[in-house]
């Protein structure tokens, strides 16, 4: 079990780095959005086209990436939306049972299904034809738009990172159920920290 808990710490560090990257992408998205607004109004004022569809699409691509990279981070920190008027008063062991069952029977199958149904559309976006040969990438229909294939690929990345973090969470829940006091205390401290923030 100790080896598995070490593995979860590595996964948690990776997820934390995704959360940091997601935060940086928020700042970049805001900057691109600010540029779009300023360029549009200044361009109208001086009679020049200072913005283009490239920057508009870049803004919503970045916005999408914030969410795709943030899914695993949200799961790790247990800040997903939850009606917890019962859950909040349960013991750590009972919460671990509910979280474990929910993760095993709902979240993990959802991630696997998401990966499965997304593979073909993503390959088609990269130019895979029904014959198995390869054609052109899927491009934006707008002038100066961005290719769609890289962004669609991030859907699979989002499901994979969420799945990996879900497996790490399962290991933690099992540790709580086995009576690993260190894990129970760590989960309690995390929950109390979130309560103070909320």
**14-71 per-position pLDDT tens digit:** 999 999 999 999 999 999 999 999 998 998 889 888 888 899 999 999 999 999 999 9
Residue 166 has pLDDT above 90, yes or no: yes
pLDDT of residue 195: 43
Is there a contact between 57 and 146 (Cβ–Cβ < 8 Å)? Answer: yes
Distances in whole angstroms, Cα of residue 50 to Cα of each of 5, 40, 53, 72, 104: 53, 7, 11, 37, 51
Return the bridge partners of 147, or none. Answer: 139
pLDDT of residue 185: 61
Q: Dig out the tokens for 55 from the structure.
A: 């920057």
State the pLDDT confidence band at 75, using cuts at 50, 70 and 90.
Answer: very high
**7-24 per-position pLDDT tens digit:** 999 999 999 999 999 999
Average pLDDT over residues 105-120: 98
């Amino acid at each position: 079990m100790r080896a598995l808990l070490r593995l979860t710490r590595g996964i948690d560090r990776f997820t934390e780095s995704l959360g940091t990257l997601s935060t940086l992408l928020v700042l970049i998205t805001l900057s691109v959005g600010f540029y779009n607004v300023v360029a549009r109004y200044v361009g109208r004022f001086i009679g020049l086209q200072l913005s283009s569809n490239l920057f508009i699409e870049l803004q919503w691509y970045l916005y999408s990436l914030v969410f795709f990279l943030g899914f695993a981070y949200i799961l790790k920190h247990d800040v997903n939306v939850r009606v917890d008027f019962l859950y909040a008063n349960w013991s750590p062991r009972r919460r671990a049972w509910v979280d474990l069952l929910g993760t095993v029977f709902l979240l993990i199958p959802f991630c696997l299904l998401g990966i499965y149904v997304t593979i073909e559309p993503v390959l088609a976006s990269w130019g895979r034809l029904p014959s198995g040969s390869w054609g052109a990438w899927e491009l934006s229909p707008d002038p100066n738009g961005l290719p769609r294939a890289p962004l669609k690929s991030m859907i699979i990345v989002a499901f994979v990172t969420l799945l990996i973090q879900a497996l790490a969470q399962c290991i933690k829940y099992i540790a709580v159920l086995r009576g690993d006091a260190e894990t129970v205390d760590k989960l309690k401290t995390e929950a109390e920290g979130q309560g103070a923030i909320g």
